[in-house]
Amino acid sequence: MSANYLIIGASSGIGEACARELAADDTTLVLVARNREKMLKLKDELPGRIYVAEYDLNDLNHISSIFDICATEGIRFDGMVFSAGVDGTWPIKTNNVQKMQEMMNVNCFSFVELSKSFYLRRNSNDGAAIVAISSIASKSLDKGMSAYCASKAALNSYVKIMAKEFISRKVRVNAILPAGVDTPMSRKKMELLSVEDAGNLIPAENIAKQAAYLLSEEALYINGELLSVGAGLIY
């Protein structure tokens, strides 16, 4: 069935896996990330109509421009996957205001602005769905991860409120809260923290399938849900 999806953070990790999962001959994808090269390479590998837009989510003030494509190409989205995020590990003892703010801007506030534009009738169809990639960290709240956990916990709150506010157009909003996923971001963090055992990282493809499910008709009655994919981590 033909569908139009917006994927934020499509150049790597879970976002890339979602692009691969959702791409199909009769599907249009709009990929958004900072890395244009990577997205263009991905576009070559995928079926269907693919648009690529370079954007740095640190700029909260022009996010609506991402949706200009709706007017120029006659697209109304059926779904959005928000898979952009930065991570970072530092104790409150060495808190850095700039890093803290950037994390909140990219991980949380950009999602709010994106959803605001997504919800406009000219940008999305009634019955469309939004999936945000949050993290189980928002629940397990480990030391050293204050800014990251807080940004994801805030993201969770926005997801639930949006689900309530977007009901009139039947736009569902849900989040996935994975434990460690096998992505460049996770690998980099493991290297930094000298964690050797990659052991239980969840394949990004699995999270992409969860996202596809939440965007689908099967999930029609799931709304405002925080779906933990804990891989054994029970908090």
Partner 1 sequence: MTLEEKKSIIADILEKDVEDIHEDSLLADFEAWDSIAVLSVISEVERATGKYLHASEIKKLKTIDDLLELFGA
Give least dist CB 197 to partner 1, A: 13
102 binds partner 1 (CB under 8 A): no
Q: Are 60 and 105 in contact (CB under 8 A)?
A: yes
- Binding span for partner 1 by CB under 8 A among 30-38, 58-66, 118-126, 185-193: 185-193
184 binds partner 1 (CB under 8 A): no
**Among 93, 197, 221, 234, contact with partner 1 (rule: CB under 8 A):** 93
Residue 47: left if φ>0, alpha if ψ -120 to 50, beta else—which one? beta
**Among 161, 192, 198, 220, contact with partner 1 (rule: CB under 8 A):** 192
98 binds partner 1 (CB under 8 A): no
Cα gap 178→156, rounded to integer Å: 13
Q: Residue 49: CB partners within 8 Å, gap ≥ 6? A: 27, 28, 29
User: Judged by CB, which is closer to partner 1: 65, or 96?
Assistant: 96
User: Judged by CB, which is closer to partner 1: 61, or 194?
Assistant: 194
Give least dist CB 6 to partner 1, A: 33
Reduced to 3 states (helix: H, G, I; strand: E, B; else coil), residue 35 is: coil
197 binds partner 1 (CB under 8 A): no
Please work out the total of residues on this chain that contact partner 1, with binding judged by CB under 8 A.
12
Cα gap 102→58, rounded to integer Å: 7
- Binding span for partner 1 by CB under 8 A among 87-95, 152-160, 179-187, 205-213: 87-95
Cα gap 47→117, rounded to integer Å: 27
Site string for partner 1, 201-230 (x = CB under 8 A): ------------------------------
Order of strands, edge to edge, in the sheet holding 3-8?
49-54, 27-33, 3-8, 77-82, 124-133, 172-178, 226-229
Tokens of 49: 């109509």
The footprint of partner 1 (CB under 8 A) covers: 89-91, 93-94, 96, 143-144, 191-194
